[in-house]
Structure formats: C-alpha cells, structure tokens
Chains A and B, each alone.
Chain A
C-alpha cells in the first residue's frame, strides 16, 4: 500500500490543542484536546466529515485563523522543539511558508486575482530566501515545471483567472513547496481536481517525501487517497481525534464505530453493487459546548450509558493504535443491553 519508512525524528508535535471561536451566539469548540505528532518523511492522513475540525486544527498550527473570533485557548505546538504559540511574529513568519508550507482547499479563491502567478510565487521566495528578483523568477519557473505546468516562463506572467482550477491548485502547491519546507500541510488539495491530475499530484507528493524527507499532513475525506499514500491516519469527529492508527491497522481493524461507519460508507469497485450506499444516520454534533459526553454517541448504534455521561479519552489498544471509545476501555464490561448483544462487528 504505502511506502512505509521507519519513523525518523519528530518534526512536529501537538499536545492538547484547544481552539474555540468566540461568536455572538456563544463559543464554538472547534478543536478539543488534539494530540498528534509528525516525523520527517512521514505522511499523516487526517480524515473526517465536514466540520469535524480538520482544517481548523491545521490552521491553528500556524495561527492562521482570524483572531477574533478564533482563539487557541491551550495547548502546545512544537516545531522542532520550539513552541509555535510562544514564537514572536518574526519567528512565526519564518515558519509560515519557510519551514511549513500550506496548501489550501479552494484554489479558485486562494490566489490573489490582481497579481500575476509569477509575482505571487516570487514573493514567498524573496521573503524567505536571500535571492534577487531574477533568481527568484528562475526558481519560480522551475517550481511551476515541477508541478507539471507547461511553458512555465510564459505562465509566470499570467494572472490566476487565466488558469483552470487544476492548474491553479498546482500553482498553490508550487507556492507551498517554494522554500522546500520541512512540513507540508495539504488541506484537501485534490478535492477540486479530476482523477488524472489527482494521480499526478499524489505522485509528486510521493517524490517529495522520498527526495526531501518532507513530513506531510494530508487532510481529506477521501479514504481511498489515504489508503494509498498515508503512513498513519487520524480520524476526527466533532473537533476531537476519535481514532489514531497506522494505515494498515485502520483499514484492517477499525476500532471506533465512526471509523467503521466511514469505511462502510465508502463505495467499492470490486464489491457487489448494493442498492444504496451506506450512510451514517443523524447529524454531525454542534460544537457549542465543551464535549461532556462522546460526541458520536447520538449517532452510534453501540452507545450505552457511559457514552452519554462521560467523554471517552484516547485509549491505546495495541501497538500505537488509539481509539476514543468506551467499548475499548479495559474496564469496559459487557452491558446488559440487548441492543449490544444483537450486534457483532
């Protein structure tokens, strides 16, 4: 499946991150007690439905959320041992675009419409590398060539609206890669692209990991992509990590009911065509309170008493496989509920 590399030194470590939005209608707890780490050359997949806190978590890492309303209330984000939250503005700027590259979701609006692609690319280069305009342009052209844009020198003079959606996303990727960052955060980078371009981009990402040892965080809701490229996977739900495992373990032995439901909802090419795709009944949770119970409980078919009373912590089951579910808790006893007895996974 994936080219697993032995985990090397940890480049990014996130401990107990909490981000809330203070809105007029009250607080929205978008990220709750999130912990994870990323090693050099590792690809960490982050999956979850819309509104599960994937993007907000990653934007919190670079303090890219507008404040107000967003506020990182507690936690620690260590990049090579230094806490991002305690950095000065200058240190933070050196990190953004220099050590950590960010690819955003929507290529149609993420580029400034009034500047040429060349300007927007060289801007980042000149900010972080000590090079002159000519060198920056040369490098920008080679970056465009790298992401598969033909005639890069001419295209540098074009404005974003002269590129198609897929091409714009490539420009975004080129921009994120401009200064050869140690960590690349890609927020649904291939969602807007058709499958052939998606395949090319995945190929490119694979090369970057191999050649530069870049640590990559790949946010997506496409489990197929995750299965193909990730080393480890985080499943997020309601602003929390509900399952954290290696990609093999996650697909072979998903422990959290939500992960199972997600995998069941995935259409398969080989499987017999059923009448309807599986779907998870119910709505994603509202995040206007700090979670006091399992946020998936209302939609979970295995929920029992404790699920609605206490929020399950991440419990390690085996070999780094973590899951936030009371069913996995060592003290968990078979409840005398007939509902659970009916079910066998």
Chain B
C-alpha cells in the first residue's frame, strides 16, 4: 500500500506539470487585459508600461518558467521561513507569486480567504453527508414507502433547483419577512463568547443549509442506490438465516458494503469544498475562495487565477489518490501492489 501510494504520488508530478502548463496556456490565450478595468483617461503608453511592469513583456515560455519557479520554489521556501522563523538565502528579493490587482502575494490572499470557505462550505458538506446517509438507508430499506417517495421528491427538488434560487428564497423568508437571520455573512465577526457564537451560528445557517440541501440530494440518491444494490445480495439472506437482528443485518452487513462506493464519492467531492461555492458565496457575501476566484477572473488577475486553479487541480489529484486508498481499506478484495 505504501509503495503504491508513493508510486501514485510520483506519477502525479508529471500530471500536475502538464495541468499547470495547460492552465497557463489557456489563460494566456484568453483575450484579457489587466489594465482593462483602469480609467479610460490613462493613455496607451502608460498602460503599456503597466503591462511591462507586470512582466507581460517577457515571452510566454519565460513567464511560465518564472511562475513555476515562484510557485514551486519561492513559495515553499517562504512558507518554511514563516513557520520556523528562519531566513534562507536572499529572502528579501525572492519574488513570490503576486496578484496583479492587489500587488500582494496570492498565497497570502488564499490563506486569508480559506477559513470562511472551509467553515461554510465544509460545514455544509458535513451536514449534507449527515442528512444524506440516514435518508438513503431508510429510503432503500423502505423502498416505495411514503418516506421514500417524499425523500425522492425532495432530493429531486434539491438537485434541480439552483442554489441561487433556494438561497434567495431563504433570504426572503428568514431575513426579509421573519427577520430571524442575517442575510449577509460578516467575515470580520469573531467568536469570543456564547452570544457571539450564537451570532456565528445564525449567520452560517442559511448558506450552510442551501449547500447542504444540494449536496444531500445527490448523495442520498447515491446512498439509496448503493443500499438497494446490496439489500438484494445473497449474503443478506445468509445474515438473516443466522438469526441476526434486522438492525444488525442492515447497519452492519448491508451498510458496510454500501458505504464503499459512497465514501469514494465523498472523498472525490472534497476538493470542491476548497473551490468554494461560487454562487452561494456571492449571494450571502461570504468572502471565500469562490468569490476570490470570481474577482480574479473579472479583473484579469492572471497570477491569482492561475495559482488558485492550480491548487484546485492539486487537490483533485490528491483526493483521487485518497479515494483509491480508502477504497482499498474498506474493500478487502482490493489489493494495491
């Protein structure tokens, strides 16, 4: 297993290099101009100078190699320096990946935005899983019952109605009409005591529920299908013939088998948490990574978009590997050599 993991990690290196090149090339081909958002009064010569100062004067391969150097060498070195409080070489003049819009290092921006996204989107993922698994299990066990029909209906609605609609409906009901919950997420809010914790819970409820509904809709269908697959297996009959309690048959024998594909799907979905939920973050004004990406795209902030997109790619590759490893742990029939 360890050998397999190391081999997969080594294989990931060329994959990721190709991905980084593709992202860089696509962004370079895109007709975007970092000076496009500047006032029209700025003359073309000045704009050209701004472009040159951003490094756009260099040919494409040089710019790509410089980004590689900044991302793979300078940023890790900087991180090590910050963690251990040491100085390695000429750290003053080492160039980090910088945002064209804010002139601050992209990694710092990401680190700033990460907590909001992980809290809101991550929490919604956890809530979604916690809702989906019991619903999937009961729906499958009582197939075609009222519970199953209602569950099917709700998950169809949850899956097909976009989050910008459910989000707005929630805001209209709970913020505008009832006035129970704030409609804007306050990123600067600090939890210090019970009252401020309660406020944090209140401002998280709506974005978390909107995303959780969406996640749970998908996952509960998946869970149900997986349970149904296993409920009709011969080993379930064997377990019953042994005289096991129905609860043990369902929650030990069937669930254990049904979770194998579901856990894989859950693991594969985790990178999406880091990607943020662009639309939901916009609706509830959560200053997360999704919003950062949108701002970067709108402002033609190529280093920011490049770096953020590449980090998503790394996460997807890593969680694919993780899903495979978890699969191997859960299913004793799978052996990685």
Contacts and interface: CB of A to CB of B under 8 A. Distances in A.
A10 B235 CA distance: 31
A186 B232 CA distance: 21
Contact of A114 (B239, B244, B245, B256): B256
Interface in A159-198: 159, 161, 172, 175-176, 178
B243 A128 contact: yes
A110 B243 contact: no
B92 interface: no
A113 B258 CA distance: 12
Contacts of B240: 64, 96
A interface residue count range (under 10 / 10 to 19 / 20 to 34 / 35 or more): 20 to 34
A195 to B, nearest CB: 24
A104 B238 CA distance: 8
A268 B233 CA distance: 37
B237 interface: yes
B241 interface: yes
A33 B235 CA distance: 29
A93 B238 contact: no
Interface in A44-66: 59, 62, 64, 66
B239 A112 contact: yes
B62 to A, nearest CB: 54
Contact of B242 (A89, A106, A175): A175
Given A106-B234, A109-B233, A159-B332, A114 B242 contact: no
A113 B238 contact: no
A109 B332 contact: no
A127 B238 CA distance: 14
B330 interface: yes
Contacts of A64: 237, 240-241
Contacts of A62: 241
B28 interface: no
A172 B331 contact: no
B244 A110 contact: no
Per DSSP, are chain B's interface residues mostly helix, strand or loop, or mixed?
Answer: helix
A112 B243 contact: no
Contacts of B242: 96-97, 123-124, 127, 175, 178
Contact of B241 (A102, A106, A114, A159): A102
B235 A110 contact: yes
Contact of B234 (A93, A97, A104, A128): A104
A36 interface: no
A62 B241 CA distance: 8
A96 B234 contact: no
Interface string A85-115: 0000100011111100010101001111111
A159 B333 CA distance: 8
Nearest to B244: A127
Contacts of B238: 102, 104, 110-112, 172, 175
Contacts of A93: 243-245
A31 to B, nearest CB: 17
B257 interface: yes
Contacts of B331: 113-114
A311 to B, nearest CB: 31
Nearest to B259: A114
A193 B50 CA distance: 81
A124 B243 CA distance: 7
Residue of B233, B234, B241, B330 with most chain A CB atoms under a 10 A cut-off: B241
A94 B242 CA distance: 9
A123 B245 CA distance: 11
A282 B239 CA distance: 38
A57 B253 CA distance: 25
A192 B313 CA distance: 49
A175 B331 CA distance: 22
Contacts of A98: 243
A94 B243 contact: yes
Contacts of B245: 93, 127
Nearest to B256: A114
Nearest to A172: B238
Contacts of A95: 243
A122 B329 CA distance: 22
Contact of A97 (B233, B243, B257): B243
A89 to B, nearest CB: 8
A94 B243 CA distance: 6
Nearest to A66: B232
Contacts of A161: 332-333
A111 B333 CA distance: 13
Contacts of B332: 113-114, 159, 161
B309 to A, nearest CB: 38
Residue of A59, A95, A123 with most chain B CB atoms under a 10 A cut-off: A123
A97 B253 contact: no
A98 B244 CA distance: 10
Contacts of B233: 109
B241 A113 contact: no
Nearest to A121: B242
Nearest to A101: B241
22 contacts: A66-B232, A93-B245, A94-B243, A96-B241, A96-B242, A96-B243, A97-B244, A102-B238, A104-B241, A109-B234, A110-B234, A112-B253, A112-B256, A113-B235, A114-B257, A115-B256, A123-B239, A124-B244, A128-B243, A161-B332, A176-B241, A178-B242
Interface of A: 59, 62, 64, 66, 89, 93-98, 102, 104, 106, 109-115, 123-124, 127-128, 159, 161, 172, 175-176, 178
Given A113-B331, A115-B256, 14 more contacts: A62-B241, A64-B237, A64-B240, A97-B241, A97-B244, A104-B234, A110-B235, A110-B238, A113-B235, A114-B330, A124-B242, A161-B333, A175-B238, A175-B242
